[in-house]
Amino acid sequence: MDQDNHQSTFTPSNLTNQGNVLKQSRFKRFFSKKTILVTLVILLFLVLKNSANEQKKPDTTSSNQPIPSNSLNTITSKKPYLLSSTGIQAYSGKTPFFQYSYPIKELAQDVDILTLFLEHYGIPWDEFAQNSEPPSFHPWTKAMNQMANDAQATKKDIFLQLSFTRKALEGKAVNDGQGNLKIDDWPGNTPEGNCYDFGNDKSKRKEAYLNYVKWMVIKFHPKYVNVAIEINDYWKDCTKGNLFAGSKWDKVVSIEGEAYDMVKSIDSSIVTFPSFILHVVYNDNPDGFDKGAFDALSKLKRDRLAVTVYPYLMQRGGKYVKPQELPQDFFNRVNKNNEILIIAETGWNSSTLRTGSPQSCQDLIPSNDKDQAIYLQFILDQAQKNNIEIIDWWSNRDIYPPQVITTCYPPLDKCGNDPWCSADNVFKDAVKENPQFGEIIFKIWGAMGIRTYDGTPKPIYNLWQSARGRK
């Protein structure tokens, strides 16, 4: 990516932009009211259990020792799946806050197929509403052109993932006036920010999205394309349990179908589908199943059944599950029609997520390198058994430096020059009624990489490469 198009200083305006990231569903999508309530109960228990004067514990969650590929029940037969990973990382003080900044050719070395997950770059909605081509001078256009060139230079097949709508439409990609890319999220008091009604589409958002899909597919030449990342987030937040809102979901389903047809008109060989959040279908419970949530997916046009799932966030009996506790029917339970499965996103943190202050720091979701490896092995075993074509691991590198999810930061006025402390406080402030929950949202995907933030292989790396090596 062209780094000249990104701000390099940590400014108050960038802090505000990072707070707006909270509105994006990567940070809100898995947290139902029930999950939030249980999380609050857990937090209360931890606060009572730990002394108010407890100092931050030393981080002992990472051994930094490789996990041998034969230390678990490694599959030795021919692999029927492709391993992929995203290259998204957080860059505090830059815009977008989440972006591909290290060379894509480095990501390509670790994957069978290259995933480009572009939700965090937004969409030039107004430009695509007026034209089928975005302006060449727009910083978004420049970023996409550079990314497409870099991806195609790797000679890897591309898995392109595009976002459409959740409760809010995908953020608006704009020029900040100085030639830099800026992402503006839709305020909740706007039609676009609160369950947009495509049946009353005066702003031509449907036309804009279809133009966007067409342009992106022609630009990137993908082998696989997800035309609507986690589309059932809209169903959950906007129509579930509302008998009068079903037509709004039907319109979203119809537009997904038009996007599917658009891709096929460009190249009928492109494997095309939307993805959905498995947590919604399972009601945040690894043993659950919601028939209404499942049935809502029946009319989506697709060549594959693609799911996003982070069992790390699921609970059983009020406790977060461990990877060895996941049921063997975890994936085939949702595959009622025996479709080919794609895991569009998954992962497990290798470090314990801690919340609170330096004086009262709690381990909220314990994890370590071995837990991460056990979950990867579980996924590999499931792929071998259940007709899974792609496993897309979030992410190739940790989103944050190693100290971020294990550190309990002080208030903003005590942060000094630590940009991660400042970012943590922005997320706390974004959920004023429960700052600790804002911190959870900030940290929850932070340490899922097979490499550290700076690219050093983590203990899971050997297992990952061993799995890739089974031809």
Each residue's pLDDT expressed in tens, for the chain with a length of 471 residues:
333 333 323 333 343 344 444 444 455 555 544 444 444 444 444 444 444 444 444 444 444 555 544 444 444 457 789 999 999 999 887 778 889 989 999 999 999 999 999 999 999 999 999 999 999 999 999 999 999 999 999 999 999 999 999 999 999 999 999 999 999 999 999 999 999 999 999 999 999 999 999 999 999 999 999 999 999 999 999 998 776 677 899 999 999 999 999 999 999 999 999 999 999 999 999 999 999 999 999 999 999 999 999 999 999 999 999 999 999 999 999 999 999 999 999 999 999 999 999 999 999 999 999 999 999 999 999 999 999 999 999 999 999 999 999 999 999 999 999 999 999 999 999 888 999 999 999 999 999 999 999 999 999 999 999 999 865
**Alpha carbon separation from 172 to 24, 126, 140, 184 (Å, rounded):** 12, 8, 10, 5
The H or E element spanning position 285 is: none
**Phi then psi dihedrals of residue 171, to 5 deg:** -60, 155
Beta strands in 72-139 (DSSP E): 82-85, 89-90, 98-99, 114-117
Indicate the pTM of the whole model: 0.87
Contact (CB, 8 A) for 450 and 460: yes
Domain count, the chain: 1
Query: What is the distance between the alpha carbons of residues 252 and 239, in angstroms, rounded to a whole number?
Result: 11
CATH number at residue 147: 3.20.20.80
**Alpha carbon separation from 129 to 125, 203, 212 (Å, rounded):** 6, 8, 9
The H or E element spanning position 56 is: none
Token readout for 135 is 């302006």
Query: What is the distance between the alpha carbons of residues 405 and 355, in angstroms, rounded to a whole number?
Result: 8
Query: What is the distance between the alpha carbons of residues 341 and 302, in angstroms, rounded to a whole number?
Result: 11
- List the domain range (segments joined by +) for residue 412: 3-468
Q: Across the strands, what pairs with 114?
A: 158
Query: What is the distance between the alpha carbons of residues 284 and 313, in angstroms, rounded to a whole number?
Result: 8
